[in-house]
Structure 1
Amino acid sequence: MTAPSNTYVTTSAIGNKEDLSDIIYRISPTTTPLMNMAAKAKASNTLHEWQTQDLASAVTTNAQAEGDNATAKSVTPTVRLSNRTQIASKTVIVSGTQQAMNPAGRKDELAYQLSMASLELKRDMESALCQLDVAATSPRQARGLVGWVVDNVDNNAGTLASYTGNTGRTVGTPRAFTEAQLKNVLQKCYSAGGEPDTIMVGPAQKQTFSTFSGNATRFDKSEDAKLYAAIDVYVSDFGSLKVVPNRFQAARDVFVLQADKLALAYLRPFSTIELATTGDAVQRELVVEYTLECRAPKAHGAIYDVL
């Protein structure tokens, strides 16, 4: 049927208000597992330093003669480690006209753009913290997990990074991710004195991990009929570990981490700088200066070169 003659319809109308939702929907991921896991620390120099200490090896022959003179033990010196602070920033410039407008979904355009910049900055930091392998000075760059986790490793050829020589890694030949590799790394961590509590994996490796048949805990709700196929906690011979997916680490890496032996040291915490006005616009720069403090490299492990 058609409308009666002279019916005033929307296609002829002038002045109907637009229907624009006052909500802005985002899908881009903003979770940062490594930054959330690590402790917060204070850096006071662009070269941030700390010390580690190893105990002397245990011996089975510590039996002394009665009345014998005391002999001083050999002293194991501390090891001095360091990392460079890295400056990360995002700059937002909004025209004076746009700032005066009444946009949908936000009350203040500058404030909204700064909030988006802060989320993007955290994503950049998470990616750098997971993937950078060497420290640099021009511009300053912080060594990330790949450059620190080199002691308890299961890899497939290639070369590992060196935090003492500040050399990067070369990747090996990709191979399937297996539970045997994980058990190998967990054993190495335990033998070195570590007590890892977190397994951090990329999305593909998380799905592979959920097929492992070892001592794994799947959380379930008895009152529903859903099938839960994901592994959330891995119960190993050396303790229970959370399994955490991370979108921002390289797909070829799986990290086995001890959370209390990692810290994010800030020389300058997140701050907003009001830049000079050079035209009909407002300018703000969001800045942070930070580094990764790997408090005990031997506490951590990794499986590298996985598919």
Structure 2
Amino acid sequence: MPGVAAIANTYNAPNFVGELFALTRPDTPFLSAIGGLTGGKRANGVVHTWSVYDLRAPDPNRQRVEGADAPAAETRVRGQERNVLEIHQETVGVTYSRQAAQTMFAGTGSANPNAAAIGGANAVDNEMDWQTRQALIQISRDVEISFLTGTFQEPSTNSTARKTRGILAATTTNVITNATPAPLTEKVVLDLLQKVWENGGIQISETATLMCGAWQKRMLTTEFVTKKNYQEQSRNVGGVAVSTIETDFGSLNVMPSRFMPADTVQVVSLDQCAPVLLETPGKGFLFSEPLAKTGAIDRAQIYGEIGLEYGPEIAHGKITGLTTAAE
């Protein structure tokens, strides 16, 4: 099976004839929906902060009498949220021989992949460019899982890597946790949506989203579509095709992700989320540059710093401890 090699050469990365198929899915729905690796906001440091504030509860007895003195002053206090940007860095390298041997193809059953040459078309015209594209896709998958399940890590020295806080760890207020695994039901989803809605989240229907893995997606379809005999609808959010379900709190997107924990459903107000990018002067964000020559090899590094801004965490919610298979 395909795997990982160090520097690509004619032995560990031979050419093959025919169409090229990917064994690994490259989709990153959460990252793509909030801006991807080319959108989002610009940071000016490795720590990114944003402010939050609230208003007092409405008072039905706030009226004043004629001629009354001015009431005591009240000040709304602002708070601050913070997250760090994490570094993603990859290296690709291809030998001179491998770059030159574009029309040499591996024969099946040969101990030496260079021993048999057969006619046909090579699916990869430029090995260095192709390897670079795959490294970028792998970085996007790494960022996707960080934005979902990342654990915040802000070290005091450079001996430890910075790690951005993912949306699951950021969500602390609107949480429903099952001490004993329990199946997902319409009631528990609506209970969570009510919590989020009352705290100001999912106010924009187009960006109100439920993220989950494969099994919980099936459960959502059963609870909100099959049992109610609804026709499942779909729409596009930030270039990502999603299905929708009808709830008491509007039409919500359902966004399956391969990187979501199987026992969790996350409610996300996508309008509050954005990737935050730190640009290197003269290079930009997520750039590729050649590394120093040490032999008959072309080597390049890909480098970028990115973090997640999730807005006020009370705009999101999560259910954990769900069963992950049919009882």
TM-score interval (norm. to shorter): 0.7 to 0.9
1:174 Cα deviation after fit: 3.0
Give the counterpart letter for 1:84 in structure 2. Answer: V
1:175 Cα deviation after fit: 2.5
Q: Deviations over 1:106-125 (max 9, x none)?
A: 11100000011111111111
8 A Cα contact 2:213 2:260, kept in partner = yes
Q: How does 1:2-21 map to 2 (within 5 A)?
A: 21=17
Report the equivalent of 1:289.
305
Report the equivalent of 1:102.
102
Q: Greater CA radius of gyration, 1 or 2?
A: 1
1:188 Cα deviation after fit: 0.3
What is the alpha-carbon distance in structure 2 between the residues aligned to residue 34 and residue 216 of structure 1?
29
Report the equivalent of 1:141.
163
What is the alpha-carbon distance in structure 1 between the residues aligned to residue 89 and residue 34 of structure 2?
21
What is the alpha-carbon distance in structure 2 between the residues aligned to residue 106 and residue 265 of structure 1?
33
1:130 partnered with 2:148: yes
Report the equivalent of 2:19.
23
What is the alpha-carbon distance in structure 2 between the residues aligned to residue 118 and residue 36 of structure 1?
14
8 A Cα contact 2:153 2:163, kept in partner = yes
1:217 Cα deviation after fit: 4.8
What is the alpha-carbon distance in structure 2 between the residues aligned to residue 133 and residue 195 of structure 1?
24
Report the equivalent of 2:63.
63
Report the equivalent of 1:305.
321
Q: Identity rate of aligned residues, in percent? A: 27
Distance 1:212 1:73, change over 3 A: farther
- Structure 1 stretch 289-298 or stretch 204-213: which is displaced more? 204-213
Report the equivalent of 2:289.
273
TM-score if structure 1 supplies the norm length?
0.81
1:70 Cα deviation after fit: 2.0
Choose the corresponding residue for 1:32, options 20, 28, 34: 28
What is the alpha-carbon distance in structure 2 between the residues aligned to residue 174 and residue 279 of structure 1?
57
8 A Cα contact 1:262 1:295, kept in partner = yes
- Structure 1 stretch 76-85 or stretch 127-136: which is displaced more? 127-136
1:85 Cα deviation after fit: 0.7
Report the equivalent of 2:186.
179
Which blocks of at least 5 consecutive residues in structure 2 are unaligned? 1-14, 104-121, 234-241, 280-284
1:67 Cα deviation after fit: 2.0
1:87 Cα deviation after fit: 0.4
1:218 partnered with 2:231: yes
What is the alpha-carbon distance in structure 1 between the residues aligned to residue 131 and residue 249 of structure 2?
46
What is the alpha-carbon distance in structure 2 between the residues aligned to residue 139 and residue 20 of structure 1?
39
What is the alpha-carbon distance in structure 1 between the residues aligned to residue 85 and residue 145 of structure 2?
15
Q: Deviations over 1:257-279 (max 9, x none)?
A: 11111111011322112111112
What is the alpha-carbon distance in structure 2 between the residues aligned to residue 20 and residue 296 of structure 1?
51
What is the alpha-carbon distance in structure 1 between the residues aligned to residue 88 and residue 181 of structure 2?
32
Q: Deviations over 1:13-39 (max 9, x none)?
A: xxxxxx953421113111111111224
8 A Cα contact 1:94 1:283, kept in partner = yes
Report the equivalent of 1:188.
195
1:213 Cα deviation after fit: 4.2
Report the equivalent of 2:259.
248
Report the equivalent of 2:43.
43
8 A Cα contact 2:224 2:246, kept in partner = no
Give the counterpart letter for 2:126 in structure 1. Answer: D
What is the alpha-carbon distance in structure 2 between the residues aligned to residue 114 and residue 217 of structure 1?
45
8 A Cα contact 1:217 1:232, kept in partner = no
1:133 Cα deviation after fit: 2.8
What is the alpha-carbon distance in structure 2 between the residues aligned to residue 154 and residue 293 of structure 1?
23
Give the counterpart letter for 1:205 in structure 2. Answer: Q
TM-score if structure 2 supplies the norm length?
0.76
Following TM superposition, the consecutive aligned residue runs of length 4 or more in structure 1 with deviations greater than 4 angstroms are 213-217
Give the counterpart letter for 2:293 in structure 1. Answer: T
Task: Give the paired residue count.
Answer: 264
Alignment RMSD, CA only? 2.0
What is the alpha-carbon distance in structure 2 between the residues aligned to residue 56 and residue 296 of structure 1?
16
1:89 Cα deviation after fit: 1.9
Distance 1:141 1:213, change over 3 A: closer
What is the alpha-carbon distance in structure 1 between the residues aligned to residue 16 and residue 144 of structure 2?
34
